[in-house]
């Protein structure tokens, strides 16, 4: 039986019974809807498309007319694009919880990951970051080395230094040129440190631990899975590199002596014919097999031919793509591109392909010289241009390659078809060399293609460590050379202290261009080449295959290119090759005759470092 309530309690209870019920709590506002997501994507895509054209035009002028004014203009346009990208990326994240159609979800993800240099939400900090980025690239582009007692026109720009390193085998001259170019980068050191701080702040605001995690998130897989994929592919090709390194080193020891190139030690970086020791083709004559005969020297052929100038070298590349069924380049390509270094101004000579209006305003920026390397580079850069045009009917956010390695690989795939048979067809040589010339030809190719592989890995390995804080400004240089020793087995001649900034002597560090794409491109180009040769019905050694003139191979290539970034890259890869995983066995197939030969040559020699 319940006890009788006290009078006061009873009164309170009665009063409570007569009071109205409390008003219900207001419902939280509804979250973003699919309709809002669709409108956001449409508006953002249109806005980005328009802003991108403005930024491209400003960047083109800044790269081809380096002045204080053009740097400011380019920085301002880049700042606008970065600010808009940051704003849109944060807005896109609001729709993460929604179940959306494939295209909408993919475009939202692309908006979030579009920035290479993510800026902070504070406009002043983003402006600072954009200004530093422009200054770093301009410092590189205008970089010169003035030998003692030289000034003005007597100073060496990067082209002159590259030519010296390409042609000279005097170790003292090479060392002076190598050290000379590396004097352009120390002024970048503090700016780069600040640049990293600002980018990392922007990346964290977008939900990424650092810029490296953000970069690795752009490959249709988890960032840690992409890092593992790079390691997997590197381990597939490392035995090829180790064999080539061994062969090259003992030949350099034979030429320069053990005091200059000690057996069992890393190779001095200045002796490999390239400022960055990333490709070694320029020392072919030092390491060539005795009495080797490649049958022809393309550099000599180009230089002797008076009917072939820098423009005609580009025409060769265009005609190759046309032979596969692609339409010729637009007339504006020839009137708006930069093919030769101007005499009256500084330009960024680093070769690049441009799609200024995302439709037909295709351009090439390159200080072409008549040599075999630039003949190959022209094919590579036109690969970008033909890829850009193939996907120009896609929505703006899909106007890109399946992943950035694809873009780099396409032109190189075409260059693999620049075989002796092709050179004979286009009347650059009269006679196709016999099969006995394959080893010298493959060795020359390997000095570029295989030698590049570890450099392609370590560039971003260094930056990933910088972005994560594992490498700090206090050991930028030490960490750089530690990775170069680990992966490449090379070292500088003499100490390189922390007052220097040797990573900045490479364009892609100064310009903040991710580099894993170039490693992937070296793998993918052989995978593409093997597949296209099979489509063309070719039977024989893979290194002798050229798809020049094969419309069926061209149609299959066009099919993949036209997909742009509309599907995850494994689907684009499958459209061309029938495989969904990147596969380095194609590079082994291509160089198999050479690798067997190298293993024989290296018997009894000291290998490793």
Quote the CA–CA distance of 473 and 167 in Å, as a whole number: 35
- pLDDT tens for 323-352 read 999 999 999 999 999 999 999 898 989 899
State how far the Cα of 68 lies from the Cα of 66, in Å rounded to an integer. Answer: 7
Catalytic residue among 75, 408, 505, 536: 408
What mean pLDDT do residues 397-404 have? Answer: 95
Both tokens of 81, joined, read 């694009």
- Residue 270 annotated to the active site: no
pLDDT of residue 4: 42
What is the percent of the chain with per-residue pLDDT over 90, rounded to a whole number? 78
Residue in 284, 515, 518, 548 annotated catalytic:
518
For residues 443 and 244, is the Cβ–Cβ distance under 8 A? no
Closest Cα partner for 405 from 270, 284, 570? 570
Supply the pLDDT for residue 11.
Answer: 44
Q: Which of 182, 270, 384, 407 is catalytic?
A: 384
Question: Nearest CA to 178 among 66, 268, 304?
Answer: 268
Cut 0.85: pTM above it: no
High-pLDDT (> 70) share of the chain, %: 95
- Per annotation, catalytic residue among 380, 479, 511, 548: 380
Query: Cα–Cα–Cα angle for 562, 566, 572, nearest 5°?
Result: 65
**Would residue 415 show up in a list of annotated catalytic residues for this protein?**
no
Q: Considering the candidates 508, 515, 531, 590, report the single residue annotated as catalytic.
A: 508
Can 384 be counted among the known catalytic residues?
Answer: yes
* pLDDT given at position 10: 44
Give residue limits of the domains in the chain. Answer: 36-143+184-208, 232-601
pLDDT tens for residues 80-123? 888 888 889 889 988 988 999 999 999 999 998 988 998 888 98
> Which one of the listed residues 182, 350, 379, 529 is annotated catalytic?
350
Closest CA to 271 of 147, 156, 178, 180: 178
Question: Going along 181-338, which residue ranges are E strands?
Answer: 267-268
Backbone angles phi, psi at 52, to 5 degrees: -65, -40
- Distances in Å between the alpha carbon of 313 and those of 296, 328, 330, 355, 374? 18, 15, 17, 20, 9
The structure tokens listed for 30 are: 């509804």
Q: Is 407 a catalytic residue?
A: no
Q: How far apart (Å, rounded) are the C-alpha atoms in residues 530 and 543?
A: 9
The DSSP secondary-structure symbol of 430 reads S
408 belongs to the catalytic site: yes
Q: Catalytic site residue 169?
A: no
E strand or H helix at 157, and its extent? Answer: strand 156-157
Nearest to 341 by CA among 162, 166, 145, 185: 162
Q: What is the pLDDT of residues 144-185, one digit of tens each?
A: 999 888 777 789 999 899 999 999 999 999 999 999 999 999
Q: Which residues of 559-582 are buried (b: 16+ CB within 10 A; e: fewer)?
A: ebbbbbbbbbbbebbebbbeeeeb
Complete DSSP assignment for 307-348: T--HHHHHHHHHHHHHHTTPPPPPHHHHHH-B-S--SSS---
Residue range 364-378: average pLDDT? 92
The whole-number pLDDT of residue 83 equals: 84
Is residue 432 flagged as an active site residue?
Answer: no
- Segment 449-479, tens digit of pLDDT: 999 999 999 999 999 999 999 999 999 999 9
Q: Which of 49, 351, 437, 575 is catalytic?
A: 351
Q: 34-83 pLDDT, tens per residue?
A: 999 999 999 999 999 999 999 999 999 999 999 999 989 998 898 888 88
Query: Is there a catalytic annotation at residue 518?
Result: yes
């Amino acid at each position: 039986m319940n006890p009788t309530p006290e009078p006061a309690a009873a009164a309170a209870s009665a009063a409570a019974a007569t009071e109205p019920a409390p008003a219900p709590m207001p419902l939280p506002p509804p979250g973003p809807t699919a309709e809002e997501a669709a409108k956001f994507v449409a508006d953002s895509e249109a806005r980005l498309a328009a802003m991108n054209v403005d930024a491209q035009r400003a960047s083109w002028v800044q790269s081809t007319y380096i002045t204080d004014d053009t740097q400011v203009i380019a920085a301002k346009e880049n700042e606008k694009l970065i600010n808009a990208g940051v704003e849109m990326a944060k807005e896109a994240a609001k729709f993460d919880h929604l179940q959306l159609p494939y295209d909408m979800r993919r475009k939202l993800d692309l908006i979030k990951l579009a920035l290479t240099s993510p800026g902070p939400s504070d406009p002043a900090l983003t402006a600072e970051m954009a200004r530093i980025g422009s200054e770093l690239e301009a410092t590189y582009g205008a970089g010169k080395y003035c030998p003692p007692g030289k000034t003005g026109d007597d100073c060496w720009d990067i082209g002159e230094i590259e030519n010296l390193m390409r042609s000279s085998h005097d170790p003292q001259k090479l060392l002076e040129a190598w050290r000379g170019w590396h004097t352009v980068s120390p002024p970048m050191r503090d700016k780069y440190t600040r640049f990293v701080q600002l980018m990392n702040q922007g990346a964290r605001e977008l939900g990424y631990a650092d810029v490296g995690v953000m970069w690795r998130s752009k490959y249709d897989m988890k960032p840690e899975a992409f890092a593992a994929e790079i390691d997997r592919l590197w381990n597939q090709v490392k035995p090829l590199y180790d064999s080539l390194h061994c062969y090259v080193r003992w030949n350099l020891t034979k030429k320069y002596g053990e005091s200059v190139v000690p057996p069992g030690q890393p190779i001095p970086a200045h002796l490999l014919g390239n400022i960055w020791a990333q490709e070694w083709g320029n020392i072919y004559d030092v390491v060539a097999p005795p009495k080797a005969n490649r049958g022809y020297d393309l550099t000599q052929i180009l230089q002797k031919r008076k009917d072939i100038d820098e423009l005609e070298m580009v025409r060769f590349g265009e005609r190759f793509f046309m032979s596969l069924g692609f339409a010729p380049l637009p007339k504006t390509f020839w009137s708006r591109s930069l093919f030769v270094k101007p005499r009256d101004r500084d330009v960024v000579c680093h070769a690049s392909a441009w799609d200024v209006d995302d439709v037909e305003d295709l351009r090439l920026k390159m200080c072409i010289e008549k040599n075999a390397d630039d003949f190959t580079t022209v094919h590579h850069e036109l690969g970008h241009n033909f890829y850009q045009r193939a996907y120009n009917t896609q929505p703006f956010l899909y106007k890109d390659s399946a992943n950035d390695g694809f873009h780099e690989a396409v032109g190189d795939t075409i260059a693999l078809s620049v075989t002796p048979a092709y050179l004979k067809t286009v009347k650059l040589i009269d006679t196709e060399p016999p099969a006995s010339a394959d080893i010298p030809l493959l060795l020359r190719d390997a000095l570029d293609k295989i030698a590049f592989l570890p450099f392609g890995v370590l560039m971003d390995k260094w930056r990933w460590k910088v972005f994560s804080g594992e490498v700090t400004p206090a050991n930028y240089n030490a960490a750089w050379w530690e990775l170069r020793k680990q992966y490449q087995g090379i070292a500088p001649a003499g100490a390189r202290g922390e007052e220097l900034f040797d990573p900045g002597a490479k364009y892609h560090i100064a310009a903040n261009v991710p580099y894993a794409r170039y490693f992937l491109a070296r793998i993918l180009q052989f995978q593409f080449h093997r597949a296209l040769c099979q489509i063309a019905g070719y039977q024989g050694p893979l290194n002798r295959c050229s798809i020049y003139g094969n419309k069926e191979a061209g149609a299959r290539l066009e099919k993949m290119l036209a997909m742009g970034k509309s599907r995850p890259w494994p689907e684009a890869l499958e459209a061309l090759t029938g495989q969904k995983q990147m596969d380095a066995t194609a590079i082994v197939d291509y160089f198999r005759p050479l690798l067997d030969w190298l293993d024989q040559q290296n018997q009894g020699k000291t290998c490793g470092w």
